[in-house]
Amino acid sequence: MTPVTYFPHKNNEMFVEDIAISTIAKQVKTPFYCYSSTAIETSFQDYQNAFSDQDTLICYAVKANSNQAVLATLAKLGSGADVVSMGEIRRAITAGIPADKIVYSGVAKTQEEIEYALSLGIFQFNVESEPELELISKVATSLNTTAAISFRINPNVCAQTHEKISTGKAENKFGVPISKARLAYKQAASLPGIKVQGVDVHIGSQLTNLAPFEEAYQHIAQLVVELRADGHDISVIDVGGGLGITYLDEIIPSKKTYADMVKAQLGHLNCKIIIEPGRSLLGNAGILVSSVVFVKTGEERQFLLLDAGMNDLIRPSMYDAFHQIIAVNQESNALKTYDVVGPVCETGDTFAKARQVHQSDAGDLIAIMSSGAYGAVMSSSYNTRMLAPEVMVKGNEFAVVRKRPSYEDIIKQDITPSWL
């Protein structure tokens, strides 16, 4: 799936499925996020087909996009959820994802969160440290229940991705070092309220190459053999998420190629495989639609000043991420070079520098592509700008699936103390 597969131009006008983006923009006003339901469904089904001959549970990584419409779309197709907070558990359950399809990752789960997850009966905790294990044991015992656990193993593998989204090196805060894994499992087996069930690994995000996955999974396969020899009943391997997407011209292995590699590395161990994809399901299923407020001619550059900013999509300023920027209406085919920037009072509020875009005027619509994952979920109301609404499209229908708050909604969250 490329960034434009579900957002094609027809007669010089960008569509999402069967609706013109401009039709939605008229009703919803910019900026807004726009998702294609068919794109999400197709991506999910590609994973299902790729793993159809292997006992697999797809646990969508809710952090990528946690809108109820997205979660409900995936729930209907049988998805489970990989969650990292009580909030994400609540969102998943509310959208109809059953507790027994939820895996709970995260380095600093609190007692309250553990109690809540245990009370629901989630499928497994992906435990990231010995102190966390001890707390889960204590809470499970006090609730008279048992927690099914996997340790998240840190295999000390370089994911060859941006350092801020790389998680599998020894220097990262994630998981239990592989060198200490057998000891950790021994401790787990000795603690009350704990049932050892599997092994988990997640080395990073936006991987464009299978080699780091392969290396990590080889370590995991070896560990499973050792753990079984130690007497542990290992029936689940959670291979994490991380398969990348095409933002510009990256060539990404297909979901089938990825699945074949997972099966080749781990299939012989006869475990249930859990996968936790986020970006590869949602990334190219969504865009951020914005309007040009002004075209400004600086001394050295032309700026396209948009009504969307870094508060709406922080990836370019946070990770220097590249997103294609495409004019919604392309009647004129003249291209111009612009710095594409937002309204926020920071120089970092820049989506692209020296980028060729169709010549644009104030009021024209601009699409920032590949924004379905880690877009809306990372947005904020910095500069007291309102969170952009989200729209889901299916065929020729669309629905606002998160509405734009009002200024009153934002301001009334603050409380002026009585002495003022």
- Residues pairing with 296 in the sheet: 303
Of 56, 118, 66, 126, nearest to 97 (Cα)?
66
Q: Are 366 and 292 in contact (CB under 8 A)?
A: yes
**Taking CB under 6 A as the rule, does residue 372 contact ligand LLP?**
no
Window of 13-21, 68-76, 86-94, 238-246 that interacts with ligand LLP by CB under 6 A:
238-246
Residues in the chain, total: 420
Longest CA span, the chain? 71
Cβ at position 241, least distance to ligand LLP in Å: 3
The residue among 216 and 373 lying less far from ligand LLP, judged by its C-beta, is 373
For residues 405 and 388, is the Cβ–Cβ distance under 8 A? no
For the chain, give me the number of helices (H) and strands (E)? 12, 21
Cis amide linkage into residue 343, ω under 30° from 0: no
Q: How far is the CB of 286 from ligand LLP (least distance, A)?
A: 13
Does the footprint of ligand LLP cover residue 129 (CB under 6 A)? no
Span from 49-57, 112-120, 201-209, 264-272 in contact with ligand LLP (CB under 6 A): 201-209
- Binding track, positions 304-343, relative to ligand LLP; x by CB under 6 A: -----------x---x------------------------
Using CB under 6 A as the binding rule, the residues of this chain from 53 to 72 that contact ligand LLP are: 61, 63-64
Closer of 253 and 302 to ligand LLP (Cβ): 253
Q: Cβ neighbours of residue 173 under 8 Å, at least 6 residues apart?
A: 107
Burial of 302 (0-12, 13-18, 19+ CB in 10 A): middle
Nearest CA to 351 among 380, 377, 386, 375?
375
- Closer by beta carbon to ligand LLP, 25 or else 368: 368
Q: Which of residues 25 and 157 has its CB atom nearest to ligand LLP in the complex?
A: 157
For the bound state, the minimum distance from the C-beta of residue 232 to ligand LLP, rounded and expressed in Å, comes to: 22
Least separation, in Å, of the C-beta of 283 and ligand LLP?
8
Q: Nearest approach, Cβ of 374 to ligand LLP (angstroms)?
A: 3
Half-sphere exposure for 253 (CA within 13 Å, toward CB): 21
Q: φ, ψ for residue 319 (rounded to 5)? A: -120, 10
Interacting residue with ligand LLP among 165, 191, 210, 269 (CB under 6 A) = 165
* Residue 124 binds ligand LLP, judged by CB under 6 A: no
The C-alpha atoms of residue 336 and residue 154 are separated, in whole angstroms, by: 47
**Would you state the structure tokens that stand for residue 11, as one six-digit string?**
């007669």
The interface with ligand LLP within residues 262-291 (CB under 6 A) comprises 276-280
As measured in angstroms, the least distance from the Cβ of 14 to ligand LLP is: 23
345 catalytic residue (yes or no): yes
Closest to 105 in 3D by CA, of 96, 92, 51: 92
- Strand (E) or helix (H) holding 319: helix 315-319
Taking Cα atoms as reference points, which of 247, 200, 274, 208 lies closest to residue 374?
247
Residue placing its CB nearer to ligand LLP in the complex, 1 or 305: 1
Question: Considering only 13-21, 93-101, 199-207, 352-360, which stretch makes contact with ligand LLP by CB under 6 A?
Answer: 199-207
The reply on whether position 3 binds ligand LLP by CB under 6 A is no
Q: Least Å distance between CB 276 and ligand LLP?
A: 4
Give me the residues that bind ligand LLP (CB under 6 A), please.
Answer: 61, 63-64, 82, 105, 165, 202, 205-206, 240-242, 276-280, 315, 319, 373-374
Catalytic residues: 345
